[in-house]
Amino acid sequence: MNIVFIYAGEILPERGGVQRVTSVLADYFEFKGLNVYYLSVAKKKETSLASSRQHFLPYSANIKKNIPFYINFLKEKDISVVINQSGIHPEISNLVHEAGKINIKIISVINNSILSGIKNFSSLYKTRAQSLNLAFLLPLANVKMLNRCLCFLYKVKYKRHYNDLYLKSDKVILLSDEFREELSYMTGKILGKTIATMPNPTSFTPSFVNLKNKKNELLFVGRVDCLYKQVDLLLVIWSKLHIDFPDWELKIVGGGGESKKLERLSKALRLKRVSFEGFQNPTSYYRSASIFCLTSLSESFGMVLIEAMQFGVVPFAFNSYPSVIDIIDHKKNGILIPPFDCDKYSEELSRLMRDKTRRDQVAIMAQEKSSLFSIEKIGTDWIRLFNNI
């Protein structure tokens, strides 16, 4: 069986969660005897890291112009299944749907919460509003009736896209059952057998982690920005802790266009023992850190949480997107914080930073929970799905 993953960007596992998941699944599928290709719209400059599986569409500005190339690619590679990893992208999804006209199976993955950005509108647009001196209007977006209006306007704009995705895909994959309500709202349909739930798998092979070797480190791994990842909030949280915990440090692993801006913010806040590590293989950081801090506005699933848990790092996150409760059972294998309460976040961190015994207990439970997302389990479910469609 020949499979192709279609995604907006080049599949570079070091650059993001969807790319890393795609790479992990592709490795597993090939281990099981399938042939796997990647077909992407945008090509990065740093192609030295690209997989031999990687192919590109000739036109990135006008995606519709790629139809002849796309159909020829599917026929030439004898593709059996197209996996659309850009299920929230209307133009790419419209291209993917062309495969159905030549009887090729389509699996569309919705890798994000559809409505979290709208429900957290005031946080999402805070920087832009501040730059326009309109920040005083943002609290209005939190008024229940007005927020419902924003959701309705979003639905009007994208209802056709999600209806097409639902009707033209052989399967639509949601990363969590918590996303079903959102998709049902967007389509206006009671969802049937076309929908399946499939969480993301862990990226790393399970290995023993000695909790005695853990250091007093808080860790962030991911894209370094103020919009969705809200790393600026993490620096504000650390500003409430760094003086009282002189034997702890914060490590920020990842890159992005706002890295320099956040380094300047760190200096402005006069933060101590915070380091910006840039793009790195996070494995050694997971082995060393005691607590993982996620401050995201929203996530597709929160793969970094599972990765951290696999290495015995206690996860903290804002309860700001639906699927986070699939990963973290509050105060059992991690901590969930009301969105976006930095005071509560620092309070809960302080409590756990002072209690090594409790930290170890939660870390052990986190490791146990991460086993539910092993590639063996999730990959087997994917193979079963291929056979069923």
The predicted pLDDT at position 141 comes to 55
CA distances from 234 to 224, 269, 319, 342 (A): 11, 12, 15, 8
pLDDT in tens, 216-275: 999 999 999 988 899 999 999 999 999 999 999 999 999 888 999 999 999 999 999 999
Nearest 5°: phi and psi at 37? -130, 155
Does residue 250 share a domain with residue 138?
A: no
pLDDT in tens, 143-167: 567 778 888 999 999 999 999 999 9
The predicted pLDDT at position 3 comes to 97
- Is the Cβ–Cβ distance between 115 and 185 less than 8 Å? yes
CATH number at residue 174: 3.40.50.2000
Can you tell me the distance from the alpha carbon of 91 to that of 370, in angstroms, rounded to the nearest whole number? 35
Does residue 226 share a domain with residue 176?
A: no
pLDDT in tens, 326-345: 999 999 999 999 999 999 99
The predicted pLDDT at position 387 comes to 93
Determine, yes or no, domain membership for 147: yes
How many separate domains does the chain show?
2
The predicted pLDDT at position 157 comes to 95
Which of 23-32, 123-132, 269-278, 352-361 is predicted least confidently? 123-132
Determine, yes or no, domain membership for 237: yes
pLDDT band at 105 (very low <50, low <70, confident <90, very high): very high
Does residue 97 share a domain with residue 77?
A: yes
Domain of 64, in residue numbers: 2-201+374-388
The predicted pLDDT at position 131 comes to 59
- Three-class DSSP category at 151: helix
Determine, yes or no, domain membership for 114: yes
pLDDT band at 48 (very low <50, low <70, confident <90, very high): very low
Determine, yes or no, domain membership for 359: yes
**Best mean pLDDT range from 48-52, 73-77, 150-154:** 73-77
Check pLDDT > 60 for residue 71. Answer: yes
The predicted pLDDT at position 325 comes to 94
Does residue 247 share a domain with residue 188?
A: no
Does residue 64 share a domain with residue 102?
A: yes
pLDDT in tens, 292-322: 999 998 887 888 999 999 999 999 999 998 8
Determine, yes or no, domain membership for 182: yes
The predicted pLDDT at position 206 comes to 67
The predicted pLDDT at position 150 comes to 84
Which of 97-111, 116-130, 200-214 is predicted least confidently? 116-130
Does residue 127 share a domain with residue 63?
A: yes
For the chain, what is the mean pLDDT? 90
pLDDT band at 49 (very low <50, low <70, confident <90, very high): low
Does residue 175 share a domain with residue 271?
A: no
Does residue 192 share a domain with residue 244?
A: no
pLDDT in tens, 116-127: 777 766 665 565
The predicted pLDDT at position 227 comes to 84
Q: Following DSSP, what letter does each residue of 215-276 receive, concatenated? A: -SEEEEES---SSSS-HHHHHHHHHTTTTT-TT-EEEEEB--TTHHHHHHHHHHTT--SEEE
The predicted pLDDT at position 167 comes to 95
**Best mean pLDDT range from 122-136, 187-201, 264-278:** 264-278
Can you tell me the distance from the alpha carbon of 56 to that of 69, in angstroms, rounded to the nearest whole number? 10
How much is the CA Rg of the chain, to the nearest whole Å? 21
Does residue 148 share a domain with residue 30?
A: yes
Check pLDDT > 70 for residue 109. Answer: yes
Does residue 247 share a domain with residue 168?
A: no
- Residue type (1 letter), 353: M
The predicted pLDDT at position 149 comes to 87
Determine, yes or no, domain membership for 349: yes
Positive/negative CA dihedral, 49, 54, 59, 63: negative
CA distances from 288 to 212, 249, 291, 292, 318 (A): 10, 12, 10, 11, 23
- CA 2: distance to chain centroid? 26
Determine, yes or no, domain membership for 305: yes
CA distances from 43 to 8, 39, 84, 97, 132 (A): 9, 10, 17, 22, 33
The predicted pLDDT at position 128 comes to 59
Does residue 254 share a domain with residue 178?
A: no
Determine, yes or no, domain membership for 206: no
Does residue 161 share a domain with residue 46?
A: yes
